[in-house]
Amino acid sequence: MRPDLAARLGENVPRYTSYPTAPHFHPGVDAGVQRDWLQAIGEGEEISLYLHIPFCDRLCWFCACHTKQTRHYEPVAAYLHSLHAEISSVAGLVGGKSHVRAVHFGGGSPTMLKPRDIVALGAVLRGNFDFLAEVKISVEIDPNDMDDARLDALAEIGMTRASLGVQDFDPKVQQAINREQSFTQTRAVVEGVRARGVASVNLDLLYGLPHQTGDSVCSTVAQALSLEPDRMALFGYAHVPWFKKHQTMIDEAWLPGPAERFDQSRLAARQIMDKGYEAIGIDHFAKPGDALSLAARSGILHRNFQGYTEDRCETLIGLGPSSISRFRQGYAQNMPSTAQYGRMVADGGLASVRGIEFSEDDKARGWLIERLMCDFAFSAAELVDRFGEAGRKLLLKASSLSLHDQARPLELDGDRFVVPVENRPFVRSIAAMFDGYFEAGKARHSAAV
């Protein structure tokens, strides 16, 4: 690809785990609006839950999550009291109408919870919501937290997928990002969850970290593959020190440049696929029989704040500070401050402070962007069938891009607009071409690759 086109398609853009993206949320979606949307959930509707644990016992310098380090457990225990109260309040509004199909524990570090608190949290959830028998429960795991008691607790709450953060196994890289974690330690946790009947294991890796090279990334990938995970995620490190001040601990001189990042991502992806894994979207890989691969092949893959998912629930309820809920009507985000979140839950039971209600244009653009991110293509007929005039307006944009843009972001193949194979690493930039807020926005984003 010509350097000028590569530079254009490699610009800094959103990750598109939602549309509209979070920088465009506003205070008009408050707890009152959240209450109305919760009460509007339909009888018999299947929903998903996301629980945010905003604490870590150490702060990894690469992390861009909403979390804070604590060396004492008292703040965590106090927070769990608030979380239990929010669960009760939300369940009271949803009533017995809905059925929970999926639960995701994220953070922060959910596994820094004490075993008894993991079990208690699982009991509170099941006591307040109707869980389907086939519910999927996934947990983000920091191997440094783990011991037999925590593994037993996770098994007791019904964990079906363990997602382990690896990042990189090179000691020099680990030291530069304040995340020391040996391969032996990681392997022990993988073996521990499998010994307790957990059928699905996911490993998260990063490229673009300080001191990484193509060879070092491939070495980490080889070690990760030796554990035979069911899924792997290969994310590009998002260096956003203006957003996360602790990233200033990473010397930018240690970071690989754009061309080297791209090479690292391609080398690692090829190495994973050579072992029989299927590529899912821009940064996930799964064994052919995994539910994620089946969803991708069937055209029913989705994307949310946890990344690519086979979860088809339209409603995802976020619990905990900064967590985001998705309703049919729009997005609602909780108060980020843990202390203020606790006060809001104590006062009124709900903690939404910002969000956005979908317009018809938002719905059409959001569907198109999700299909590009998941399938690298979308059907012109389906776009119009679903969204009418809003869809027709977007087809004019897609047609112009396919006919006149030298970068060839899209090609028309029958009824479908398709991202050419060589441009798929830059699909976030192509999605941004359909983002009605992007050009006017002031938000800063991470590199596209």
**Ramachandran area for residue 36 (φ above 0: left; ψ -120 to 50: alpha; else beta):** alpha
- Residue partners of 129: CB distance under 8 A and separation at least 6: 49, 91, 94, 98, 100
Q: Which pLDDT value is given to residue 71? A: 85
**Predicted confidence band of residue 295 (pLDDT cuts 50, 70, 90):** very high
**Ramachandran area for residue 369 (φ above 0: left; ψ -120 to 50: alpha; else beta):** alpha
- Residue partners of 52: CB distance under 8 A and separation at least 6: 66, 106, 107, 108, 318, 319, 320, 321, 322, 323
Q: Which pLDDT value is given to residue 323? A: 97
Do 359-442 and 17-319 have the same topology in CATH?
A: no
Question: Is 80 exceeded by the pLDDT of residue 359?
Answer: yes
Cα distances (Å, whole numbers) of residue 307 to 12, 35, 251, 389: 18, 26, 28, 30
In CATH terms, is domain 359-442 a member of 1.10.3470.10? no
Say whether 303 sits in a helix, a strand or coil: strand
**Predicted confidence band of residue 449 (pLDDT cuts 50, 70, 90):** low
Structure tokens at 70: 């604590």
**Mean pLDDT, range 238-260, rounded to an integer:** 82
**Predicted confidence band of residue 95 (pLDDT cuts 50, 70, 90):** confident
Domain ranges of the chain: 17-319, 359-442
- What is d(CA 190, CA 150) in angstroms, rounded to the nearest whole number? 13
**Mean pLDDT, range 97-113, rounded to an integer:** 95
**Mean pLDDT, range 108-118, rounded to an integer:** 96
Q: Which pLDDT value is given to residue 6? A: 60
Structure tokens at 115: 């075993």
Structure tokens at 60: 């990894």
- What is d(CA 396, CA 357) in angstroms, rounded to the nearest whole number? 25
Question: Is 80 exceeded by the pLDDT of residue 447?
Answer: no
Nearest to 54 by CA among 68, 72, 38: 68
Question: Is 90 exceeded by the pLDDT of residue 82?
Answer: yes
Overall residue count recorded for the chain in this entry: 449
Under a CB-based contact definition with an 8 Å cutoff, are residues 106 and 147 in contact? no
Question: Is 80 exceeded by the pLDDT of residue 310?
Answer: yes
Under a CB-based contact definition with an 8 Å cutoff, are residues 177 and 210 in contact? yes
Q: Which pLDDT value is given to residue 118? A: 98
Cα distances (Å, whole numbers) of residue 76 to 5, 124, 302, 342: 48, 16, 32, 12
**Mean pLDDT, range 253-260, rounded to an integer:** 89
- What is d(CA 58, CA 178) in angstroms, rounded to the nearest whole number? 8
Q: Which pLDDT value is given to residue 96? A: 82
Question: Is 80 exceeded by the pLDDT of residue 32?
Answer: yes
Q: Which pLDDT value is given to residue 69? A: 78
Question: Is 90 exceeded by the pLDDT of residue 259?
Answer: no
Work out the angle at residue 171's Cα, subtended by the Cα atoms of residues 165 and 177, and round it to the nearest 5 degrees. 60
Question: Is 90 exceeded by the pLDDT of residue 5?
Answer: no
Q: What integer best gives the mean pLDDT of the chain?
A: 92
Using a pLDDT cut of 90, give the percent of the chain over it: 80
**Mean pLDDT, range 317-322, rounded to an integer:** 98
**Predicted confidence band of residue 60 (pLDDT cuts 50, 70, 90):** confident
Structure tokens at 208: 């673009």
- What is d(CA 423, CA 2) in angstroms, rounded to the nearest whole number? 12
**CATH H-level, domain 17-319: superfamily:** Aldolase class I (3.20.20.70)
Q: Which pLDDT value is given to residue 3? A: 58
Q: Which pLDDT value is given to residue 2? A: 53
Q: Which pLDDT value is given to residue 204? A: 96
Under a CB-based contact definition with an 8 Å cutoff, are residues 65 and 17 in contact? no
